[in-house]
């Protein structure tokens, strides 16, 4: 009987496309995750290759831009023009839908490097184009970058409206909190199946739709263990491999690895407690993920 159970377990693992966990606290490689604590203004970077932590408070620029200021949250943007992972640390009350285009008055700083050793953020005031002490060519370059970002935000807002309609069509009563649509800028491969759209609602459930030929179809709803609520500035979704995602929820202090195994049914593949991933009791309010990351093949919940 024991031999039969063991055989069935091994077969299930191979059929499911998942391998047993190797190191329970290790996130998929190929990512840099930045963690922000709105209570203290502290920021921490984690390189998943080797689980290397770097306190961003030792970076005087990043620390000074956040100390004694209103809380904020990250907005990730892959700048296709420069082929760079970038992000803005925006002010907590900024909302594109109501505030419109991002200007220097709406954010704390901008960064366009994706390794802690190269972090040299630009203060929001560097994008104040009324300043006379900034070279005109630099103003033009920064202005063009900000314009590209705002174009991206307009596209995101249009996608948001489509997803709100999709939720309504499925009679999902909880409203949209956050969403993420994987892109393929980091990869040269072309997917052969419909693109997944990951949608968090305020009740902390994750709904997955797929887009094919311009049409959205509902796939499934996932429950994120321990998560009780969702807000756009305390949740995050970032790429994990070609089509999987890592989902951060402040209400549970967990990161969830969700994937679909080459177009299969999406599921929560792994779960990591923040306390197991980070040292020293750091309690993040928000995170941002840089880099494409690798697909999680280990699979674990702890």
Residue 300 domain flag: no
**Is 100's pLDDT higher than 60?**
yes
Q: What is the pLDDT of residues 236-273, one digit of tens each?
A: 999 988 778 999 999 999 999 998 766 678 899 899 99
For the chain, what is the domain count?
A: 1
| pLDDT tens, position by position, 26-77 | 788 889 999 999 988 889 999 988 778 888 776 656 666 676 567 899 999 9
- pTM, two decimals, is 0.86
Query: Does the residue 299 lie in any domain?
Result: no
Domain membership flag for residue 148 = yes
3-state secondary structure the chain: CHHHHHHHHHHHHHHHCCCCCCCCCCCCCCCEEEEEECCCCEEEEEECCCCEEEEHHHCHHHHHHHCCCCCEEEEEEEECCCCEEEEEEEECCCCHHHHCCCCHHHEEEEECCCCHHHCCCEEHHHHCCCCCCCCHHHHHHHHHHHHHHHHHHHHHHHHHHHHHHHHHHCCCCCCEEEEECCCCCCCCCCCCCCEEEEEEECCCEEEEEEEECCEEEEEEEEECCCCCCCCCCCEEEEEECCCEEEEEECCCCEEEEEECCCCCCCEEEEEEEHHHHCCCCCCCCEEEEECCCCCCCCCCEC
Rounded to the nearest integer, the mean pLDDT of the chain is 84
Reported as a single tens digit per residue, the pLDDT across 155-181 is 999 999 999 999 999 999 999 999 999
Q: What is the extent of the structural domain holding 23?
A: 2-290
Question: Quick check: is 302 in a domain?
Answer: no
């Amino acid at each position: 009987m024991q031999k039969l159970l063991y055989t069935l377990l091994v077969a299930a693992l191979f059929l499911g496309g998942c391998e047993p966990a190797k190191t329970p606290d290790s996130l998929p490689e190929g990512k840099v995750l930045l963690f922000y604590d709105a209570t203290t203004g502290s920021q921490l970077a984690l390189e998943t290759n080797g689980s290397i932590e770097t306190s961003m408070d030792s970076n005087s620029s990043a620390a000074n831009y956040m100390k004694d200021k209103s809380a904020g949250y990250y907005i990730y943007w892959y700048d296709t023009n420069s082929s760079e992972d970038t992000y803005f640390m925006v002010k907590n009350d900024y909302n594109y839908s109501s505030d419109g285009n991002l200007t220097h008055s709406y954010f704390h700083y901008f960064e366009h490097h994706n390794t802690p050793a190269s972090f040299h953020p630009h203060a929001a005031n560097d994008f104040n184009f009324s300043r006379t002490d900034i070279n005109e060519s630099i103003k033009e370059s920064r202005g063009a970058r900000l314009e590209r970002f705002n174009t991206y935000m307009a596209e995101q807002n249009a996608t948001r409206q489509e997803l709100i309609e999709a939720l309504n069509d499925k009679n999902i009563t909880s409203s949209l909190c956050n969403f993420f649509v994987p892109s393929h800028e980091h990869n040269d491969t072309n997917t052969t199946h419909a693109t997944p759209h990951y949608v968090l609602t305020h009740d902390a459930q994750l709904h997955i739709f797929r887009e094919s030929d311009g049409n959205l179809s509902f796939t499934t709803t996932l429950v994120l263990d321990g998560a009780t609520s969702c807000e756009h500035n305390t949740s995050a979704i970032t790429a994990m491999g070609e089509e999987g995602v890592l989902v951060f929820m402040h209400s549970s202090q967990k990161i969830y690895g969700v994937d679909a195994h080459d177009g299969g049914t999406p599921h929560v593949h792994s779960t990591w407690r923040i306390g197991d991933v980070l040292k020293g009791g750091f309690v993040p309010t928000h995170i941002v993920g840089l880099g494409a990351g690798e697909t999680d093949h280990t699979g674990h919940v702890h």
